[in-house]
Each structure stands twice: as structure tokens, then as C-alpha cells.
Amino acid sequence: MFLSLFYLTTSIIVVVTILIIVINFKSNKIVNVYFVIVIIIAFGSYPLLSFNNLIFPIPNIILNYRALGIIVFPSFYLYFKKLQLDIKGFSIQDGVHFALPIVIAFFNLLFFDEKSSYPFPGKLVICALMLFYLIKSFRIVKSVSTGHSHNSNAKKISN
């Protein structure tokens, strides 16, 4: 009961936070579409978990929200990339980064097994995908912190 109320309270706070982000989207420099995607995926299961225990039981296939968690990895990379380039919108070329995670999530939902979240080869692919995007994100953050970002070079050239 307490855990369900915690999930419900947290989900209300997340909805309010997302509304504030969307309302102030144009004026906030550190927010882009991918930041909102990360928040929604990270906390999107909380309403389902709270309703599952408080109101009505939800089938386990719906509660297998972890499958969509793979989308967080390319979202973090694209968040830092777009933040570095000072671009807020979504481009069609960015959709390529979501192709493999969506296919993995689809197959995980299609072949859902309550005993394991992912089959063994799937875990290896997910770990490789996570490391790939973690390294790419780290390189972007490192280049920004050392002053080698695309924006600083563009400003130097234009001056």
C-alpha cells in the first residue's frame, strides 16, 4: 500500500515536471526532446505500478516496461549531442539510433517470459549497446568540458 502511494506520488511529480518542461521548452537551454524522452521512460512505469496495486491488477505483459528502457541509451547520447550543438528538435536522422533498441524491445515484449527479462544473447547485445552509447556520450561531455565543442569552434570561426 505504501509503495503504491509512493509510486503514485512520484508519477504525479513527474507529470508536473514534464508539464513545466514543455511549457518552458523554448526558454530553457538545457532541455530538448531527448531529455523529456529519458524522463518519461525512466518514470513511466510508476503510474502502472501504482494502479496495479491500488485500483486493479494489470497483466504482467504490460508491466514489462523494462523492455522500453533500452531507448534511454541512445536518448542520452542524442541529448548530449543536441545540447552541444544547441539544437532542440528531433531530426529524422536521429531515428536511426532508435532502430535497434526498438527492435530489441519489440522482441522482448513478443517473447515475454516472466522468469527472465531478456534471453542471454539479448543481454549481451544490450550491454554492447549500452557501452557504445555510454562511450559516445562520454566523448561528447569530455569535448564540451575541455572546450572542443562544435559550438565553440563555430563561434571562433565567425569572430
Please report the sign of the dihedral spanned by the C-alpha atoms of residue 53, residue 55, residue 59, residue 61.
negative
The size of the chain, in residues, is 159
What's residue 66's pLDDT? Answer: 65
What's residue 133's pLDDT? Answer: 92
What's residue 72's pLDDT? Answer: 86
Domain boundaries, the chain: 2-151
Mean pLDDT by 10 residues, the chain (159 residues): 80 84 74 81 76 67 66 88 81 87 79 60 80 91 74 42
Closest CA to 86 of 151, 22, 25: 151
* Whole-angstrom distance, CA of residue 43 vs CA of residue 41: 6
DSSP codes joined into one string, 48-94: HHHHHHHT----HHHH-GGGGGGGHHHHHHHHHHHHHHT--S--GGG
Taking the model in full, what pTM does it have? Answer: 0.70
What's residue 131's pLDDT? Answer: 92
CB distance 104 to 125 below 8 Å? yes
Residue that has been written with the C-alpha cell 549497446 in this structure: 129
